[in-house]
Structure 1
Amino acid sequence: MVAISFLFLVCFFSFHLHAVAQPRNSTIRLGSSLTPTTTGKSAWLSPSGLYGFGFYPQGNGYGVGVFLAGVPQRTVVWTANRDAPPVPRTASLVLTTDGRLILQSPPRRDVYIVTDASQKIAAASMLDTGNFVVFNSDEDIIWQSFQYPTTSILQGQHPSAGMELFSSVSETDQSTGIFRLKMQHDGNLVQYPVDTPDTAPYSYWSSITDGKGDNVSLNLDNDGHLYMLNSTGFNIKDLNTGGYDDTNRTIYLMKIDSDGIFRLYSYRLDRNGNRSVIWSSTSDKCAPKGLCGLNGYCVDVDREANCICLPGFAPVIEGNFTAGCERNFSSDSCKSDDGTIQYTIQAAESTVWEDNGYSEVTSTTREECDTACYEDCNCEAAMFNDGKCTKQRLPLRYGRRDLSNSNIALIKSCFQIQKVFYRQQHKIVRDRCSYFV
């Protein structure tokens, strides 16, 4: 009797362990749905449970996308309709019986998650690669998230010529940020600010592979090897040589972060998802152009980026340095007793900016450059460097402090804001542009 009971227990536990070890069925059938609430199912998981497709918290509501679900630090790797406003807890994600994947959030119109599938959807699946795919009735993949990267590249994903990644606003806001990474048709992988031409003056990092092949792709292997291949499969550049743990205990993820730096991360699944940076495009956090917004410049403080407004300017949004800076005075506040406007010049030394000058003055001294800007009603700032004076209009952008550079940004500011300071250190100059009032 004891032997029979023991055999029964062995069989029971063997069956139980086998059932636990079985991968879940990741096929998402027509009619399936998700809701962001804890009482309902909020994500469709991959067979191992590592990745999920569904709702994640964003702002005062939820977004929809692919995220690392198998680690405590939930990391979003792909976002659907990323610039749409967050949806409320009453929203639902539905794979309809007529083959549409839509987000329902009354009273808004239904939003399509998959907009360009070549055929009607018959089923979908969240794969263990992090790729969310949809199938037709013949079980052929007709759409996949890997073809439309947002911020990240996963193992086995191969962005080819013309593809771009865009940073997010922040770690908690997946809306489109202010930096982009482009795999160019000339074979070069380049980082730029958003809304700029694909030209060298706007680049702040490059793989320096232009002209080394056509239809170049970016590749990430299971051992952390990050590299670029041309159309013949020839390796034209190793960004990171890899050679790390290539077992299922570690996964690798490449991302353009909200601060504009392109990083390669490792996640140790056997250490509670511990995340490490194993490569980055730069260690200089002031390198990304535009990090401090308009009329602000970046200063490296203990290897961290710190944004400072130009003299006479204040942050547009306190605590959000990418929003830039605006003048903290008006023409009215600069009036003297007789109604004319009084300005002076303040300097931001050893700073570099985008060159957007409208007039170059032959000048030998900084004082002469000051005077040239004083006497020009259109001049709001000037750049003085090695005897060269260039008049500028506002806003100034892409500013950063560079102690090895002798450039001085000369900013026309309201005299009355700092009258005590100016009486001590500057002569009073009465601006003749009183018609601005």
Structure 2
Amino acid sequence: MPSLKQGNSLKVEEESNFLVSPNGTFSSGFYKVGANASCYSIWFTNSADKTVVWMANRDKPVSERRSKLTLHGNGNLVLTDALGSVVWSTNTISKEVMELQLLETGNLVLRNQDDRIIWQSFDSPTDTLLPSQPLTKNTTLVSMRSQGTYLSGFYNFKFDDNSILFLIYNGPILSSVYWPQIVSTVFESGRNPYNSSRVAILDVAGQFISSDNMQFYASDYGVGPKRRLTMDYDGILRLYSLDESAGNWKLSWLPDGVDACLVQGLCGEYGICTYKPLPTCTCPSGFSLNVPSDWSKGCSPPFNLTQLTQDTSKLDFLELPYTDYYGYDLETYQLGISFEACRNSCLVDSRCLGFGYALDGLGQCYPKSLLLNGYRMSNVKSILYVKIPKDFLTPGAVQSKLEAHDLSCSAARFFVSSDLETEKGNGNQYMKYLIGFVSSFAIIEAICIGLAWWYVFRKQAHEELVNMGYMTLATNAVGFKHFTYAELKKVTNDFKQEIGKGGFGTVYKGVLDGERFVAVKRLEGILQGDAEFWAEVSVIGNINHMNLVKLYGFCADNNHKLLVYEYLENGSLDKLLFSDVELGLEKRYKIALGTAKGLSYLHEECLEWVLHCDVKPQNILLDDHLEPKVADFGMSKLFKDINDEGNGFSRVRGTRGYMAPEWMVNLKIDAKADVYSYGIVLLELLTGKSASILLSAFAREYIEHNQLVQCVTEKIRVEGIKEVIDPRLHHDFNKKKLERLMKVALLCVQEDRSARPAMSKVVELLLE
């Protein structure tokens, strides 16, 4: 469609309903960024992968159900989610007639009846600058978090306070400029900081020009190709040109002097960037990844240096050849001192985590207060020494366990001993042939090994990127934390107080920071590796709803897989419902409605749909006000076995008495299985009997699931609803409300799953 008029909306379900620029170069609509998540975006229509150039809500994706973009009558363009909450808006108010249009430049604009632009997407870029789009002092290009993850990343391209365009790492803890690397290079390249206009632009011919004199041209300079200047997820700014015949992008410019492994923050603290042949992050020997799916979180040592600094006799250094950590040199940097003096100065300085010693013969000593921006290359003329406990590795150990790096034939050296050089005649000639043969064989072998490494690590890099794709929103979850196993042992007092046990593991009570109670679930039977577990639990950690138990964090230390939840003092529903505690009708109704809302959110509204697969009173926890919170959601994601495909399962899951009939006949499981289990819970709330008793309460012998509805219906028809209701509710008998609850319960436990309502419909029925 050419434009959006006032009072109209673009709905996420209507995939073919989007705006198109006059010549069709750009399209604008909802763009899928996750299993059930979309962002309102602009993309190149003819690129093979629908390359996105702008997003309205990149950090707040909306559900692919009932979300919409609406141009209201007051002139405000508003993006709302499934619940109707405002996620993003242009904040424009006007009494004039307004219209939303996508221009051929890729600029999304709000225009009034006088054709004047009131708002435009060009004023708020994400990671891409398009031709004719100005970059100003008020705008910044911000990279994606990772390939395939559209959240805002940590790399920026913008004007600094000196009016110079810089590439900047803007991490959660530290911020630093990495291009140009030093001030002198600004002047050497002809850049001018003495112009406060701060404006830059890429023209349609591929020339970029800036007020600070930064200037470059596309390698295919000239009017014709569609282009984009993008701040890529790896921290490198690149200019691309589109080959429209194939839909592929070709690199047409990148900054001089920006090496991938010199991009700051890439590998996090202690991390080391190496080429294998692609840039890859590694940890020093004995150190471990903090987050397997996110290298920017760096590495951790299995020791605490602060406890050892008082006794330097217990300290040593791990040697890392051809390695440097850029920046963060202490003021004790010295020139012209011996290696021993450099080593000792770091040893006695509690601030010093390690030191670099240059191999240029000038005696340069670089003590480090922080080991960030690590890289290892054959041309690095220094050795880095990391401070460690003396018993951590063999004293004076040389780092040899960094994963293999590229083999370089040019770096190979062949030496002929002096006694061979004195040989004459046939022996000398023979050695020449021998050396030539060995050299040729070595080169061929190096090439083969290099190709093998390239294949292995390309596959490994791909797998890592796939895992990272599951991180949508997880890393932004408030309070979400990666715990170590040692931390959780301390939190739970060595797993002393058991508060629950189920099919997924045992739950222990713990205390965080000495004041906040938590429930720590020790999982049993996890088949996933750390990376996949991290990816799946990250999705769960980002799911937030008032009727779902909050996940604070997790632990993934080899075989130890644990989840840390909020602690609810009133415990689970079964402990109240099947006890002498008085639970009135209004409280039971509140529990039924809240549980339905929580499951509805899981099924239809959260960013990645989740099946619970074990809905029962034991998994419905109650807070101080008896507000229900569904627990153990997402376990179906964590316990997928090797035969699971899509949303199907190769083995029966759940608890007898609550499981839908389709589990028993090997049908594919969907959200209606949870609806059935919810129906059983609702019957329990109404009758006051547990599921096993409930199934036999209306017959002399144990009945099958598909007979349950008939039995309950018949008993109500013959004896009335009061005869099946919990006697404890007779003094609080509200026939209308009880009949509504019973009607919903019986609908939910239909044998034919297509006859069961969706959980969102259940909520509507309960609120009628």
Amino acid at match of 2:209: Y
Give a deviation string over 1:239-285, Cα, whole Å, max 9, x none. Answer: 116664524xx31111111111111111122x132211111114632
Say yes or no: does 1:273 pair with 2:255: no
Give a deviation string over 1:279-298, Cα, whole Å, max 9, x none. Answer: 11146322322222222132
**What's the CA shift for 1:143?**
0.7
SS at match of 1:175: strand
Give a deviation string over 1:276-323, Cα, whole Å, max 9, x none. Answer: 111111463223222222221322444x32222244422222242222
Larger relative strand fraction:
1
Amino acid at match of 1:138: D
Matches of 2:315 and 2:347, distance apart in 1: 8
Q: Alignment partner for residue 355 of structure 2, among 382, 385, 388?
A: 382
Q: Please, which runs of 5 or more residues in structure 1 have no aligned partner?
A: 1-24, 231-235, 427-437
Is the contact between residue 160 and residue 218 of structure 1 (CA under 8 Å) also seen in structure 2? yes
Is the contact between residue 192 and residue 203 of structure 1 (CA under 8 Å) also seen in structure 2? no
Say yes or no: does 1:253 pair with 2:228: yes
> In the TM superposition, what are the counterparts of 1:226-241 in structure 2 within 5 Å?
226-228=208-210, 236-240=213-217
SS at match of 1:169: strand
SS at match of 1:275: strand
Q: Which residue of the partner structure matches residue 317 of structure 1?
A: 291
**What's the CA shift for 1:46?**
1.7
Is the contact between residue 264 and residue 278 of structure 1 (CA under 8 Å) also seen in structure 2? yes
Say yes or no: does 1:291 pair with 2:266: yes
Say yes or no: does 1:57 pair with 2:32: yes
Amino acid at match of 1:163: T
Amino acid at match of 2:31: Y
Change (3 A) 1:378 1:159: closer
Amino acid at match of 1:348: L
SS at match of 2:226: strand
**What's the CA shift for 1:79?**
1.6
Matches of 1:116 and 1:340, distance apart in 2: 64
**What's the CA shift for 1:72?**
2.5
Q: Which residue of the partner structure matches residue 408 of structure 1?
A: 383
Change (3 A) 1:352 1:119: farther
Q: Alignment partner for residue 348 of structure 1, among 320, 323, 328?
A: 320
The structure that has the greater radius of gyration is 2
Say yes or no: does 1:224 pair with 2:206: yes
SS at match of 2:260: coil
Larger relative helix fraction:
2
Change (3 A) 1:71 1:119: farther
Matches of 2:99 and 2:264, distance apart in 1: 43
Is the contact between residue 318 and residue 398 of structure 2 (CA under 8 Å) also seen in structure 1? no
Change (3 A) 1:340 1:375: closer
SS at match of 1:78: strand
Give a deviation string over 1:188-218, Cα, whole Å, max 9, x none. Answer: 3221211536798866996641246442532
Is the contact between residue 192 and residue 202 of structure 1 (CA under 8 Å) also seen in structure 2? no
Amino acid at match of 1:182: K
Is the contact between residue 65 and residue 82 of structure 2 (CA under 8 Å) also seen in structure 1? no
Is the contact between residue 312 and residue 329 of structure 1 (CA under 8 Å) also seen in structure 2? no
Change (3 A) 1:407 1:116: farther
Matches of 2:182 and 2:46, distance apart in 1: 36
Q: Which residue of the partner structure matches residue 367 of structure 1?
A: 340
Change (3 A) 1:34 1:238: same
Amino acid at match of 1:71: S
> In the TM superposition, what are the counterparts of 1:9-408 in structure 2 within 5 Å?
26-37=2-13, 39-41=14-16, 43-60=18-35, 61-107=37-83, 109-115=85-91, 122-184=98-160, 186-194=162-170, 196=175, 208-211=190-193, 213-228=195-210, 236-240=213-217, 244=221, 246-247=223-224, 250-269=225-244, 271-282=245-256, 284-302=259-277, 304-330=278-304, 342-350=314-322, 351-357=324-330, 359-360=332-333, 364-385=337-358, 386-394=362-370, 396-408=371-383
Matches of 1:127 and 1:289, distance apart in 2: 37
Instruction: Please give the TM-score of this superposition, normalised by the length of structure 1.
Output: 0.76
Give a deviation string over 1:4-52, Cα, whole Å, max 9, x none. Answer: xxxxxxxxxxxxxxxxxxxxx6221012222333x55453222233212
Matches of 2:75 and 2:349, distance apart in 1: 65
Is the contact between residue 359 and residue 392 of structure 1 (CA under 8 Å) also seen in structure 2? no
Amino acid at match of 2:33: Q
CA RMSD after TM alignment: 3.6
**What's the CA shift for 1:133?**
0.3
**What's the CA shift for 1:132?**
0.3
SS at match of 2:69: strand
Is the contact between residue 312 and residue 347 of structure 2 (CA under 8 Å) also seen in structure 1? no
Matches of 2:301 and 2:94, distance apart in 1: 52
Q: Which residue of the partner structure matches residue 233 of structure 1?
A: none
Point out the more displaced range, 104-113 or 71-80: 104-113
Amino acid at match of 1:239: F
Is the contact between residue 383 and residue 389 of structure 1 (CA under 8 Å) also seen in structure 2? yes
Change (3 A) 1:198 1:410: closer
Change (3 A) 1:203 1:328: farther
Amino acid at match of 2:132: G
SS at match of 1:400: strand
SS at match of 1:373: helix
Is the contact between residue 298 and residue 308 of structure 1 (CA under 8 Å) also seen in structure 2? yes
SS at match of 1:322: helix
Matches of 1:210 and 1:147, distance apart in 2: 25
Point out the more displaced range, 150-159 or 208-217: 208-217
Is the contact between residue 321 and residue 398 of structure 2 (CA under 8 Å) also seen in structure 1? no
Change (3 A) 1:331 1:192: closer
Identity %: 25
Is the contact between residue 352 and residue 402 of structure 1 (CA under 8 Å) also seen in structure 2? no
Amino acid at match of 1:286: C
Matches of 2:332 and 2:211, distance apart in 1: 45
**What's the CA shift for 1:86?**
4.8
Give a deviation string over 1:333-371, Cα, whole Å, max 9, x none. Answer: 99xxxx999443102233142134264578833334334
Matches of 2:161 and 2:170, distance apart in 1: 18
SS at match of 2:340: helix
Amino acid at match of 2:316: T
Change (3 A) 1:354 1:123: same
Change (3 A) 1:289 1:42: farther
Matches of 1:108 and 1:89, distance apart in 2: 11
Amino acid at match of 1:370: R
Change (3 A) 1:332 1:134: closer
Give a deviation string over 1:38-90, Cα, whole Å, max 9, x none. Answer: x5545322223321222112134112221112332111111213322553433
Matches of 1:278 and 1:107, distance apart in 2: 44
Instruction: Please give the TM-score of this superposition, normalised by the length of structure 2.
Output: 0.45
SS at match of 1:146: helix
